[in-house]
């Protein structure tokens, strides 16, 4: 089995995603283990001096003034895990839970959290053995990080809660026993360190970002096929235009459109005429989303390589500082931005769908069927796209502008970042289906115009893939299965290319 070492140094989103999705044995490097041990010794030394440290020998939140005796320190850490594990809703996907656990280990390896080495090694044993805690998706305020869902992971680490193992849902103690893993007995600060942090919203955000990049590339391909079906103009993707408005995403997208349309005999190269915005402004609209995705990628990369629990230990200074690195606002803002950027791909796609099915705009048969009237063709497919786009607008309402104080007003501003992250799944699914509908309509338009032989090599490949999954619509038939098949096709990397190349 391939091995991967967590070193305590920077890791990329691409590498994190790869080891999450692959069967890789993940361990700590000697340097990372040394960081953890050094930090742990600092915590123990400060407690031995009789120092009062938040969350180490005090209560939590509003109870921070309550001092806890040395004899009760272990019970304090166990109690915080049990009391905070009050999530509700359906479980997070196992791969998301795995990524959360990996990010937790990556952060501990930086040597500022004060946990014991055995605790981190046990967490990685769970990762490598396939023990996946059952983590309800709802309950986090994104304030002291993702307290509630992270508590459900910590529960299994100490032999409680519930977990999935070998495809079965078991008690945490059963899953750990079957995997041959001894549960952890928590010491000073460890319960708090396991619960503080933004790993849940980070993991959900990373999975969403991967899908967003795939949809961006698919949207470019769908737009190119639509432009060919409607015999659109290429003046709008001229390199000179974009050089004098040099937004990176716009320039990149214009280049992608030139590549996708290269060799086409369907496009109009006249510079004197212009298309509707949904065709002409693809570089500007898709490009703006691409810029947003790359911004979010930067935020998530920084967060992945940050330490976000509290308090934080600085061994070289023999200092323990209480701060707010667990606050989810940087992610909440970025993930709400991601939601809007993905929604815009669907918005403009739906407008291209309308141009394809509307005979006044396309010059083709009404609703892309040869015998309209008797047949409705793809009329209602546009209805579905419009419905999905409208729902996306609701999902795009930002969660980060809301805040409900908690812990008797001690935690008086919260980010709601996990909500920003979770609502992305609906937007991504809706956008996937809108793009599937556009591809279905564009391929049908190409067939009605009888110009499939004049497609560019890139769009011809996409057209052939669509037609291998869905036949030409000769007369009305049930088409929800056609949409499903094309949506499944979009999920294949050969269709759109690697997600991280934008």
The residues annotated with a catalytic role in the active site are: 54
Distance CA 407, CA 179 (A): 37
Q: Is the dihedral of CA 87, 90, 91, 95 positive or negative?
A: negative
Whether 292 and 424 have beta carbons less than 8 Å apart is answered as no
Residue whose tokens read 């996946």: 132
Take residue 268 and report the two structure tokens written for it: 């109009």
Contacts of 168 (CB under 8 A, 6+ apart): none
Distance CA 348, CA 396 (A): 15
Whether 124 and 27 have beta carbons less than 8 Å apart is answered as yes
Task: Count Cβ atoms within 10 A of the Cβ of residue 369 and give its class: 0-12 exposed, 13-18 middle, 19 or more buried.
Answer: buried
Distance CA 376, CA 132 (A): 48
**β-bridge partners, 91:** 136
Distance CA 473, CA 24 (A): 45
Tell how strand 136-138 and strand 168-171 pair up.
unpaired
Distance CA 267, CA 176 (A): 61
Take residue 420 and report the two structure tokens written for it: 């920003």
Whether 269 and 235 have beta carbons less than 8 Å apart is answered as yes
Whether 157 and 119 have beta carbons less than 8 Å apart is answered as yes
Give, in order, the Cα–Cα distances in Å from 187 to each of 55, 71, 147, 177. Answer: 11, 11, 18, 21
Tell me the backbone φ, ψ of residue 252, rounded to 5 degrees.
Answer: -65, -45
Whether 197 and 112 have beta carbons less than 8 Å apart is answered as no
């Amino acid at each position: 089995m391939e091995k991967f070492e967590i070193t305590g140094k920077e890791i990329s989103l691409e590498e994190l995603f790869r080891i999450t999705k692959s069967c890789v044995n993940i361990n700590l490097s000697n340097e990372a283990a040394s960081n953890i041990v050094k930090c742990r010794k600092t915590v123990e030394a400060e407690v031995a001096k009789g120092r009062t440290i938040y969350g180490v020998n005090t209560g939590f939140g509003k109870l921070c003034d309550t001092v806890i005796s040395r004899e009760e320190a272990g019970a304090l850490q166990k109690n915080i895990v049990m009391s905070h594990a009050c999530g509700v809703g359906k479980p997070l996907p196992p791969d998301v839970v795995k990524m959360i656990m990996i990010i937790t280990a990556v952060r501990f390896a930086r040597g500022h959290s004060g946990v014991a080495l055995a605790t981190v090694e046990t967490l990685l044993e769970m990762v490598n053995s396939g023990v996946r805690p059952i983590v309800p998706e709802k309950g986090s305020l994104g304030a002291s990080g993702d307290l509630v869902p992270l508590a459900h992971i910590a529960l299994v680490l100490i032999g409680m809660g519930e977990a999935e193992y070998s495809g079965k849902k078991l008690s945490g103690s059963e899953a750990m026993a079957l995997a041959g893993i001894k549960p952890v007995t928590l010491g000073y600060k460890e319960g708090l360190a396991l619960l503080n942090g933004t790993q849940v919203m980070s993991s959900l955000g990373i999975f969403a970002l991967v899908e967003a990049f795939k949809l961006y590339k698919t949207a470019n391909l769908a737009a190119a096929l639509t432009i060919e079906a409607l015999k659109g103009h290429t003046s709008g993707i001229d390199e000179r235009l974009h050089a004098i408005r040099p937004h990176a995403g716009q320039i990149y997208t214009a280049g992608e459109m030139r590549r996708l349309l290269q060799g086409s005999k369907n496009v109009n190269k006249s510079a004197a005429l212009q298309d509707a915005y949904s065709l002409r402004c693809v570089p500007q609209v898709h490009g703006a989303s691409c810029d947003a995705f790359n911004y979010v990628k930067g935020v998530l990369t920084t967060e992945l390589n940050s330490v976000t629990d509290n308090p934080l230990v600085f061994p070289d200074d023999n200092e323990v500082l209480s701060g707010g690195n667990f606050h989810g606002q940087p992610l909440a803002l970025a993930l709400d931005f991601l939601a809007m950027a993905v929604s815009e791909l669907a918005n403009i796609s739906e407008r291209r769908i309308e141009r394809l099915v509307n005979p006044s705009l396309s010059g083709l048969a009404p609703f892309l069927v040869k015998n309209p009237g008797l047949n409705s063709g793809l009329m209602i497919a546009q209805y579905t796209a419009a419905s999905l786009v409208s729902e996306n607008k609701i999902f795009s309402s930002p969660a980060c502008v809301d805040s409900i104080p908690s812990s008797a007003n001690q935690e008086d501003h919260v980010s709601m970042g996990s909500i920003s992250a979770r609502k992305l799944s609906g937007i991504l699914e809706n956008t996937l289906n809108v793009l599937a509908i556009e591809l279905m309509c564009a391929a049908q338009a190409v067939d009605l115009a009888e110009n499939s032989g004049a497609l560019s090599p890139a769009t011809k490949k996409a057209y052939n893939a669509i037609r291998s999954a869905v036949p030409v619509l000769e007369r009305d038939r049930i088409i929800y299965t056609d949409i499903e098949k094309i949506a499944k096709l979009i999920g294949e990397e050969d269709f759109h290319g690697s997600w991280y190349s934008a």
